[in-house]
Chain A
Amino acid sequence: MSLLELHSISKTFPGQHALSGVDLEVAAGEIHALVGHNGSGKSTLIKVLSGFHEPDPGSGPALVHGREIRFGDPEGVHAAGIRFIHQDLGLADGLSVLDNLKLGSGLYRTAPGWRIRRRSERADARRRLAALGLEHLDPEDDVGRLGAVERTEVAIARALQDEDQVRVLVLDEPTAALPDREVGRLFALVRRLVAGGVGVIYVSHRLEEVFDLADRVTVLREGVVVHSSPVAAIGRRALARLIAGSDVVAPVRAGALGKDAEGEELLRFGEVWTDGELRGADLAVRAGEVVGVAGLSGSGVHDVPRTLLGGSRVTAGEITVDGTAVGEPGPTALARLGVAVVPAGNHRKRIAGLTVRENLTISDLGPFWSAAHFDHRAERAEARDLLDRFGIRPREPERPIELLSGGNQQKVYVARLLRTRPRLLVLEEPTQGVDVGGSADILRFIVDAARKHGVGVLLCSSDLEDLAGVCQRVLAFRAGRIAAELVGEEATREAIVEECYLAEEGPIHVADR
């Protein structure tokens, strides 16, 4: 009998089937890998299991040791012995390891006067850490000063402090923040746990980890289980193909420029190293082409826009615009050079408190200002025109920006910068959290800008649809540098996933600089 059984779990969000009839079984002593691309439903499944989301009616049952657990009941889930380690770990920096272990557990025993029995608690924590093979953790250390792997260990130790009751441990991308050389230590800990009969659900993006660690693997795609088998029964390429799916939408690549794009070179990263994730990244974007940048989180894909916005510091190599080195990149410096960067995350772009009109025009108010007079009428006319051209709904320029849907907000932010007529547009995850129709619109604006106005576009995205759909070239990042360049027809979803997920030979060892 399986330790944990989930039967036909469905979850519908407005306008989206996040999960459709998903089954999952985990046996005692088994490490079960759950893989899938962004938006495949992994997180939703974990959140249903943890009680955060309630599944659609008709889902279930969910059984632990054959006993049914209720949905939407985090305490019941805890009582059934299921523990979660989320990606952000949920630790309180500035508090000690001991305090973090006790946080939320209510397990401090107190002396009269509610005084914490510090010494006996400390000794007890040492004993428990040692039992997990974590004797190198000092209960008095400040969690904020620990390394990434120690932090993960603290989170695991906290999840396991009532170890005799723990049946299933769910690890959600525990290695995303870890350097590769540290992963081995974490694996050793996980293996010790399963040897004791615990079942593990291991969510990961890194396929090599699946093959190193897991016994079974289940692949989710668009909310459906497309594959479930012992790891030994499947190869890496086949697994990558299952994650990617096939190209369902015919690509609308930007124009006829294609491979022989001979537009002038606008942006170049020459062997750029940063204090972020880039380790010798080398790329160029020409006028009129759409270049995709793909990669898993931590691979450097998001460090490209971050570096351009001044969030990561260049430590070696140089960034040039029009062949001239950019000393200190940042939004204002780049805007002057005709480069517009749209970062991910609406909260970083939303100027809440201002209206849609004001959000649209803020990047360039010059056209409305002459002879000490601000032409409000011209501004309103242009705002209305932008709402039409970019299909932003509702068509109300005076609406507070925060009342627009995420997709319409994203259109506002793209329109805001395209309006400044940049020669180069850098977009980070432009369709994240945007519905299908909105995504198609945004991609169309991007392609139009490249095709009709000769704008060079750098599209940093983890969305395969975006990349395979509109890019003439896709650069796959691994370990901070470009591992492969896929040109034109080569840039299929499958090829992109293969290049991003697969290390050629074993884990990549990140050099430090």
Chain B
Amino acid sequence: MSQTADPGVASEGEPKNLTARRHRASLLERFAGPGFLLVMFVVFTALLPDTFPTYNNLIAVVNNQTITAMVALGLLVPLAAGVFDISIGGILTLSVIFSTLMFQATGGDMPVPVVILLTLGIGILAGLFNGLLVVRLGIEPFIVTLGSGSVFIGISQLIANGKVISEHIPTGFTDLGRSEPLGIPAPIIYVVVLAAALGYVFVMTPLGRKIYATGANRDAARLAGVPTDRILYLAFMTSGVCAAAAGLLYAMRIGAGQPEVGGQYLLPAYAAAFLGSTMIKPGRFNVLGLLVGLAIIAVGINGLQLNGIPSWVIPTFQGAALIIAVVLTKVRGRRR
């Protein structure tokens, strides 16, 4: 806070060129995350030259993160718009159960594209429901989505009747998640496409700017003419449809639906998003940062596991990453 601690908040008498540099994030700040990833990579390669840096291991590490990545990318939109969405785990569960159940109920006769479109539609509807409660009734997004997420899980359990759904899932459906065109698993391609699309919206369109403005100060953005209500609907619907897509991906890869699948993706998605907001474009939720954040978590866990470190490390590592991300943001804000 104090002026002596940071020349960036210089008084007017100070030379211009001194003040000019400081409020853009330094290179160190922007690329500390990717640097850390690189260091981890080098260390694990040195420790485990035979298992860690192989194509098979690395592609598996990435492929294992595709579902989390899809959830997290969708989550980025509400976070950038300044609202929490913690119903994404519930929507993912609902999507897994709904899509697999439609095949099972029709004996596998329902056309694959129809199932996919209907499931994505459910995700959009779920987001619309969240948006309605937040915008129309002005309820805290955190509370709304905490409640609705639980409701979605409840509905999933109801329609699944407590059983795992695994019959009549057509290979035309599962192939979409298991094929490897050009040796690259299909899910990775989906994630890359989604990330590119979202990155384009955030950086290259007026809509992206309006999302960030809504997140920075909703009231001021509204007074400046930004249609903040519409932005919030859009944000929840985006996270909803992405969570539904992630659920589809899960169903494709596993070929079955269990009613308690969604919860495990919530924490890593948040950890990656917040970790990502401290790098590349510090202070802003951004796509590249999120992908690097996710990679840090994934590579970290993979390397530790290959070193024979037990499974309790995973939640600890994810939780610690989330807290460290928020602490970094706080420290950065204080230096201002």
The residues of A with any CB-CB pair to B shorter than 8 Å are: 309, 331-332, 335, 341, 343, 347-354, 358, 361-366, 368-369, 372-374, 393-394, 396, 398-400, 402-403, 416-417, 420
B330 within 8 A of A: no
Indicate if the CB atoms of B20 and A396 lie closer than 8 Å: yes
User: When the two chains form the complex, which single residue of A348, A353, A420 contacts B215, counting CB atoms closer than 8 Å?
Assistant: A353
Given A351-B221, A369-B206, A400-B336 in contact, is the A362-B213 Cβ separation under 8 Å?
A: yes
Closest A-B pairs by Cβ, 9 of them: A365-B206, A353-B216, A363-B225, A351-B216, A335-B225, A351-B217, A374-B204, A363-B224, A351-B220
The complex places the Cα of A364 from the Cα of B212 at a distance, in Å, of 15
B13 to chain A minimum Cβ distance, whole angstroms, is 12
B256 to chain A minimum Cβ distance, whole angstroms, is 40
Most buried by A among B205, B209, B227: B209
Indicate if the CB atoms of A353 and B283 lie closer than 8 Å: yes
Identify whether the interface residues of A are mostly helix, strand, loop, or mixed.
mixed
CB-CB under 8 A from A402, the residues of chain B are: 336
A183 to chain B minimum Cβ distance, whole angstroms, is 33
The complex places the Cα of A254 from the Cα of B211 at a distance, in Å, of 38
Residue of A nearest to B229 (CB): A332
The complex places the Cα of A332 from the Cα of B223 at a distance, in Å, of 8
CB-CB under 8 A from B212, the residues of chain A are: 353-354, 358
Given A354-B212, A365-B206, A373-B204 in contact, is the A348-B226 Cβ separation under 8 Å?
A: no
Indicate if the CB atoms of B23 and A398 lie closer than 8 Å: yes
Interface membership of chain B positions 307-336, coded 1 if the CB is closer than 8 angstroms to chain A and 0 otherwise: 000000000000000000000000000001
Indicate if the CB atoms of A398 and B223 lie closer than 8 Å: no
A320 to chain B minimum Cβ distance, whole angstroms, is 21
Most buried by B among A341, A354, A396: A354
Indicate if the CB atoms of B221 and A353 lie closer than 8 Å: no
Interface membership of chain B positions 1-30, coded 1 if the CB is closer than 8 angstroms to chain A and 0 otherwise: 000000011001000100110011000000
Indicate if the CB atoms of A348 and B221 lie closer than 8 Å: no
User: When the two chains form the complex, which single residue of A331, A350, A365, A400 contacts B209, counting CB atoms closer than 8 Å?
Assistant: A365
B219 within 8 A of A: yes
User: When the two chains form the complex, which single residue of B16, B220, B224 contacts A394, counting CB atoms closer than 8 Å?
Assistant: B16
B: contact size bracket? 20 to 34
Given A351-B213, A352-B217, A399-B23 in contact, is the A369-B205 Cβ separation under 8 Å?
A: yes
Indicate if the CB atoms of B210 and A362 lie closer than 8 Å: yes
Indicate if the CB atoms of B224 and A331 lie closer than 8 Å: yes
The complex places the Cα of A200 from the Cα of B206 at a distance, in Å, of 57
CB-CB under 8 A from B19, the residues of chain A are: 394
CB-CB under 8 A from B24, the residues of chain A are: 398
Indicate if the CB atoms of A400 and B204 lie closer than 8 Å: no
Residue of A nearest to B217 (CB): A351
Within 8 A of A (CB), among B258-312: 283-284
Given A353-B284, A374-B205, A398-B23 in contact, is the A331-B213 Cβ separation under 8 Å?
A: no
CB-CB under 8 A from B219, the residues of chain A are: 348
The complex places the Cα of A416 from the Cα of B225 at a distance, in Å, of 10
CB-CB under 8 A from B220, the residues of chain A are: 347-351
Given A348-B220, A403-B9 in contact, is the A362-B205 Cβ separation under 8 Å?
A: no
CB-CB under 8 A from B204, the residues of chain A are: 373-374
Indicate if the CB atoms of B225 and A364 lie closer than 8 Å: yes
Indicate if the CB atoms of A354 and B225 lie closer than 8 Å: no
B222 within 8 A of A: yes
Residue of A nearest to B216 (CB): A353
CB-CB under 8 A from B203, the residues of chain A are: 374
Indicate if the CB atoms of B223 and A362 lie closer than 8 Å: no
Indicate if the CB atoms of B217 and A368 lie closer than 8 Å: no
Indicate if the CB atoms of A368 and B216 lie closer than 8 Å: no
Indicate if the CB atoms of A400 and B23 lie closer than 8 Å: yes
Most buried by B among A352, A365, A400: A365
CB-CB under 8 A from A361, the residues of chain B are: 209
Residue of A nearest to B228 (CB): A332
CB-CB under 8 A from B215, the residues of chain A are: 353
User: When the two chains form the complex, which single residue of B12, B209, B336 contacts A358, counting CB atoms closer than 8 Å?
Assistant: B209
Known: A353-B216, A353-B217, A394-B16. 4 other contacts (CB 8 A): A351-B216, A354-B216, A372-B205, A417-B224
A372 to chain B minimum Cβ distance, whole angstroms, is 8
Most buried by B among A343, A403, A417: A403
